[in-house]
Amino acid sequence: MRTRLFTRSKDDIIKEADAILQSNDDAAFHYKVTLVSLVLHGLSVKEAAESASVDVRAIQKWVKTADEQGVDALRPSKATGRPPLLSDIQKSEIKAAIEGSPEEYGYRVWEGKSVSEFIKQWYGIKISVRSCQNLLSELGFSLLRPQPHPNHQKDQSPRDEFKKN
């Protein structure tokens, strides 16, 4: 078995690891730092891997990272995720348009479909109807649809029947 030649002093890495273990609450980070610390204190990589149910190469990689970049480099990086399709400025412009009359833009009501068409027409971005419904909710709007009302008829009996329900 080969022994790793360290570029930094083991004692310096151990001190850095101990300081982090005493100051941080991130479990995954603690886990990696603890295993690296055990290896630096003399436990073989194979023994550490077997006792922690981790692949030997993972621990070797963590030891190498701690040596070359410092123990803090073992901290998990935050996943950024997919960037949003609409900027905050565009969302505020859409909100301002929705607060106005939909007839100004050629729509009868503001709903997922009309907002989707509006965004495609004005910004050239295709967003699904469901995503636009979620956007309406995010912007503070709720879906209110006009209810059918038989009030335009001369015969009031359908209206009276409607009221009973």
Q: How many structural domains is the chain composed of? A: 2
- The one-letter code for the residue type at 100 is G
Is residue 26 included in any domain, yes or no? yes
| 8 A C-beta contact, residue 84 and residue 125 | no
Tell me the C-alpha distance between 121 and 73, whole Å. 46
Can you give the pLDDT at residue 78?
79
Q: Are residues 101 and 66 in the same domain?
A: no
- Give the pLDDT confidence score for residue 80 in this predicted structure: 81
Is 81 within the bounds of a domain?
no
118 within a domain of the structure (yes/no) = yes
Domain housing 14: 10-74
Opening angle at CA 14, ends 8 and 18, nearest 5: 145
The amino acid at residue 155 is D
From residue 137, how far is each of 21, 61, 143, 144 by CA, in Å?
Answer: 42, 45, 8, 12
132 located within any domain: yes
74, 97, 125 - which closes a domain: 74
Residues 105, 68, single domain; the answer is no
Q: Look at residue 160 and tell me if it is in a domain.
A: no
Helix axes 27-40, 56-69, angle to 10 degrees: 90
146 occurs within a structural domain: no
Task: List the pLDDT tens digit at each of the 165 positions of the chain.
Answer: 677 788 888 888 888 877 776 666 677 888 898 899 999 999 999 999 988 888 999 999 999 999 999 998 998 887 788 899 999 999 999 999 999 889 999 998 899 999 999 999 999 999 999 999 999 999 999 877 666 665 565 666 766 776 765
SS3 category, 115: helix
Let me know whether 45 and 70 are in one domain: yes
